[in-house]
Amino acid sequence: MSKKSYSLFDKHSQALIYGNQTKAIQRMLDFDYICKREKPSVSAIINPTGGGPQQFFFGEKEILIPMYKTIGKALKFHKEIDIMINFASLRSAYESSLEAIKAKPIKTVVIIAEGILERKTRLLIANAKKNNTWIIGPATVGGICAGQFRIANTGGTLENIINSKLHRGGSFGLVTKSGGLSNEMYNVIAQNSDGIYEGVAIGGDAYPGSTLADHCLRFEKNPQIKAIVVLGEIGGLDEYEISEALIKKNITKPLVAWTAGTCAKEFTGEVQFGHAGAKTGSLKESADKKNKVLKKAGAIVPKSFNDIGKQINKVYKNLVSQKIIKPKKDLQPRAIPADFEDFKKHKKVRKPTQIISSISCDTGEEATYLGIPISKIVKDQNKGLGYVIGLLWFKKELPQFAAAYIEMILKTVADHGPCVSGALNTIVSARAGKDLVSSLVSGLLTIGPRFGGAIDGAAYYFFDAFNKDLNPRDFVAQMKQKGVNIPGIGHKVKSIKNPDKRVENLKNFAKKNFKNTDLLNYALEVEKITTSKKENLILNVDGVIAVTFIDMMKSLPEIFSQREIEKVIEIGSLNGLFVLGRSVGFIGHYFDQKRYKQGLYRFDTDDVLYLTKGKTN
Ligand code: ACO
Ligand code: LMR
């Protein structure tokens, strides 16, 4: 007899899990790890709807377990698989189990689903016999080979596993119908002996894929198993088969047996307990009768379920005294690192955070801007984009006039035609076949100290000069001395003769709405000096945004302190107004080029001064 015929799973078994049962798989791997198994016991997962490899822990290490759509595919790549644990739902459990039963390398199929039609289970059993495959279930939690292989959730929590000595092999074989009672029995056996070598719960259906007797006969043949414990239940005639095997001496190892459900006699009619098979109609299937028959056949039958531990202990001591069992040394299980999420839930860990967010939060029921739920903001007609920018950029709830001012800036700078540096770059990129984001970014990258990005520079220099009480003339002179063009002054096409309407509008808004326009007035004094030199050296759109924004903040001392104003300038937040506003225009230019299917743009050679040697045409 080959080893495999009496051992369904051991430390070399490799499982195929049908159904992406991540929790059960992780529990199997945790068991493997504490038992010091060399290789994780799960080779592959079947998910008929597909998916990539799944991440699990093996100890503290993360591993990937491949996922396949079909059993056939998984077996093609994993020749080591010898057991399938089938978590398929009732609807598909029959077909998938049949396929696994017929698949050559699979020697054991565990069927978790409950309620498979008895007719279909019988077909599965017939096929299993034909193919020399074992079935555990249906309606089972599975089984365990202590310290070697665990089926899914068998044995419960890791703590329970260790308390029940399931992390290392003992000398008893256990077979039960009920999965719940099997967990209880692992514990009872561990308290009264050196624990189990192997345990199987065959499931509560009337037609189990393998019977109590099948497993007892297997245990008889396994030299590692020195005694057998059977926990049957009311209904079915399985226990009679065991009795017969005892009488015929096909089972010779001490066998402690109990049939649960002795209380059924207290009921007058037919009784069905939790399991489909746990019902009694005839006296023959009653627990009392079966206990009697087992006892007569030579089984050790306790007086009640509560007495079972005592009987197991007696058997154990006896086998030890006969030196049939050599008491096993207790083995220290390997510790499993705690799961971070569990520890976090119980406030047992802390770690430094990686980023700070003081403007928005997404941990509650709804994301908030500065603590205000988004729905509250969008439902309020008076709260527009300017208000949102106040919250997210400046961390302030701005009054209506200030929010309106921000929106006015955005509208003002949204576009200035296709010829300006940024728009041109967006257009060229769009015509080179680039996508929206690339074309937009190409335009945005042009924004800088000369084009659109002079707002922060202007804010810095004007605010600094004003705070130092510097005479405008001295300011212009000092800047010239430094060789720095005053940010916010000068324009390529606008001048005193061709004033920039946008600048006029913003100036007027500030004068009308702000309590304070000191910095604007100062900048206009500077403009008088620069335009006296050259008529295009006007206060430009960047410049007017810079100085009026500071005036707006200074008009709201209850909202912006002097330090906060300095901070706004220091971190360079004002260029953001141009970046955001002009994005609207750049996106428009991108759409415009695509709308008219504009081809690749090439610069005209007439517009290039070639300084190369030799003829050009
Ligand atoms: N401050 C002082 N002097 C200036 C300034 C300025 N901001 N800008 C130009 N000048 C002077 C130059 O020093 C030069 O003087 P020079 O003739 O004595 O040598 C003369 O004006 C002409 O200089 P150019 O650079 O040829 O002037 P141009 O009209 O081409 O420049 C520009 C326009 C780039 C906007 C320029 O005025 C400048 O750099 N300004 C500062 C940056 C700025 O505010 N950019 C934002 C513009 S608005 C927008 O993009 C939305
Ligand atoms: C703009 O807003 O893009 C313009 O002020 C720049 C320009 O050159 O016209």
For residue 11, tell me if it sits in a domain: yes
Under a CB-based contact definition with an 8 Å cutoff, are residues 168 and 217 in contact?
no
Considering the domain architecture, whether residues 282 and 427 belong to the same structural domain is answered as no
- What would the mean pLDDT of 268-279 be, rounded to a whole number? 56
Considering the domain architecture, whether residues 172 and 316 belong to the same structural domain is answered as yes
Considering the domain architecture, whether residues 298 and 443 belong to the same structural domain is answered as no
- Give the up-direction half-sphere exposure of residue 594: CA atoms within 13 A in the CB hemisphere: 14
Cα of 149 vs its chain's centroid, Å: 27
For residue 489, the CA-to-ligand 1 centroid distance in Å is 7
Q: Is the CB of residue 492 below 6 angstroms from any atom belonging to ligand 2?
A: yes
Q: According to the per-residue pLDDT averaged within each range, which of 245-254, 264-273, 349-358 is highest?
A: 245-254
367-373 long-range contacts (CB < 8 A, ≥24 apart) are 370/395, 370/397
Note down the domain range covering 441.
421-595
Q: How long a stretch of residues is the chain?
A: 617
Considering the domain architecture, whether residues 443 and 302 belong to the same structural domain is answered as no
Please indicate, yes or no, whether the overall pTM of this predicted structure exceeds 0.75. Answer: no
Count how many domains the chain has.
2
- The closest ligand to the CA of 448 turns out to be 1
For residue 341, tell me if it sits in a domain: no
What is residue 316's predicted lDDT score, i.e. its pLDDT? 97
CA atoms of 578 and 456, how far apart (whole Å): 10
For residue 361, tell me if it sits in a domain: no
User: Residue 413 CA: which ligand 1 atom is closest?
Assistant: 51
Under a CB-based contact definition with an 8 Å cutoff, are residues 180 and 155 in contact?
no
Q: What is the pLDDT of residues 429-460, one digit of tens each?
A: 999 999 999 999 999 999 999 999 999 999 99
What is residue 242's predicted lDDT score, i.e. its pLDDT? 95
Residues contacting residue 313 through CB under 8 Å, at least 6 positions apart = 192, 193
For residue 94, tell me if it sits in a domain: yes
Is pLDDT of 280 > 60?
no
Which of 424, 489, 535, when mutated, tests ligand 1's pocket best, judged by the most ligand atoms within 8 Å of its CB? Answer: 489
For residue 494, the CA-to-ligand 1 centroid distance in Å is 11
For residue 162, the CA-to-ligand 1 centroid distance in Å is 80
User: Residue 451 CA: which ligand 2 atom is closest?
Assistant: 6
CA atoms of 287 and 145, how far apart (whole Å): 28
Considering the domain architecture, whether residues 33 and 178 belong to the same structural domain is answered as yes
CA atoms of 471 and 482, how far apart (whole Å): 16
- The closest ligand to the CA of 537 turns out to be 1
Considering the domain architecture, whether residues 283 and 429 belong to the same structural domain is answered as no
For residue 334, tell me if it sits in a domain: no
Q: What is the pLDDT of residues 178-221, one digit of tens each?
A: 888 899 999 999 999 999 999 999 998 888 999 999 999 999 99
Which of 485, 532, 537, when mutated, tests ligand 1's pocket best, judged by the most ligand atoms within 8 Å of its CB? Answer: 485
Whether the upstream peptide bond of residue 352 has omega within 30° of 0, thus cis, is no
Q: Is the CB of residue 541 below 6 angstroms from any atom belonging to ligand 2?
A: yes
For residue 478, the CA-to-ligand 2 centroid distance in Å is 26
Query: Of the residues 296, 321, 346, which one is the last residue of a structural domain?
Result: 321
What is residue 206's predicted lDDT score, i.e. its pLDDT? 82
What is residue 282's predicted lDDT score, i.e. its pLDDT? 62
Considering the domain architecture, whether residues 428 and 313 belong to the same structural domain is answered as no
Considering the domain architecture, whether residues 275 and 150 belong to the same structural domain is answered as yes
Helices (H), 414-533: 421-431, 436-444, 455-467, 472-482, 501-513, 518-533
- The closest ligand to the CA of 419 turns out to be 2
CA-based nearest residue to 99, from 132, 137, 63, 70? 70
What is residue 328's predicted lDDT score, i.e. its pLDDT? 76
What is residue 268's predicted lDDT score, i.e. its pLDDT? 55
DSSP 308-354: HHHHHHHHHHHHHHTTSS-PPPP-PPPPPPPPHHHHHHTT------S
Considering the domain architecture, whether residues 163 and 303 belong to the same structural domain is answered as yes
Considering the domain architecture, whether residues 51 and 195 belong to the same structural domain is answered as yes
CA-based nearest residue to 593, from 411, 414, 418, 415? 418
Residues contacting residue 321 through CB under 8 Å, at least 6 positions apart = none
The two tokens of residue 516 are: 């304070």
Q: Bridge-partner residues for 279, per DSSP? A: 272
The better pLDDT of the pair 106, 617 is held by 106
Considering the domain architecture, whether residues 429 and 280 belong to the same structural domain is answered as no
From residue 71, give the alpha-carbon distance in Å to each of 85, 209, 475, 495, 502.
Answer: 12, 20, 81, 78, 70
Q: State the average pLDDT for the chain.
A: 93
User: Residue 451 CA: which ligand 1 atom is closest?
Assistant: 50
Atom 9 of ligand 2, nearest CA residue: 420
DSSP 8-state class, residue 539: B
The SS3 of residue 262 is helix
CATH number of residue 250's parent domain: 3.40.50.261
Residue in the block written with tokens 């624990």:
195
Under a CB-based contact definition with an 8 Å cutoff, are residues 405 and 387 in contact?
no
CA atoms of 248 and 608, how far apart (whole Å): 108
Query: Of the residues 286, 321, 356, which one is the last residue of a structural domain?
Result: 321
- What would the mean pLDDT of 18-24 be, rounded to a whole number? 96
For residue 175, the CA-to-ligand 2 centroid distance in Å is 85
What is residue 2's predicted lDDT score, i.e. its pLDDT? 40
Q: Which of the residues are catalytic?
A: 275
Q: What is the pLDDT of residues 62-98, one digit of tens each?
A: 999 999 999 999 999 999 999 999 999 988 999 999 9
Q: What is the pLDDT of residues 320-368, one digit of tens each?
A: 999 999 987 778 999 999 888 889 999 999 988 999 999 999 999 999 9
Is pLDDT of 279 > 80?
no
- The closest ligand to the CA of 585 turns out to be 2
- What would the mean pLDDT of 474-487 be, rounded to a whole number? 98
Residue in the block written with tokens 């003002």:
412
For residue 250, tell me if it sits in a domain: yes
Query: Of the residues 263, 297, 321, which one is the last residue of a structural domain?
Result: 321
For residue 464, the CA-to-ligand 1 centroid distance in Å is 20
End-to-end CA separation in angstroms for the chain: 94
Which of 413, 416, 504, when mutated, tests ligand 2's pocket best, judged by the most ligand atoms within 8 Å of its CB? Answer: 416
Q: According to the per-residue pLDDT averaged within each range, which of 200-214, 222-236, 495-509 is highest?
A: 495-509
For residue 398, tell me if it sits in a domain: no
Considering the domain architecture, whether residues 192 and 71 belong to the same structural domain is answered as yes
For residue 453, tell me if it sits in a domain: yes
What is residue 180's predicted lDDT score, i.e. its pLDDT? 83
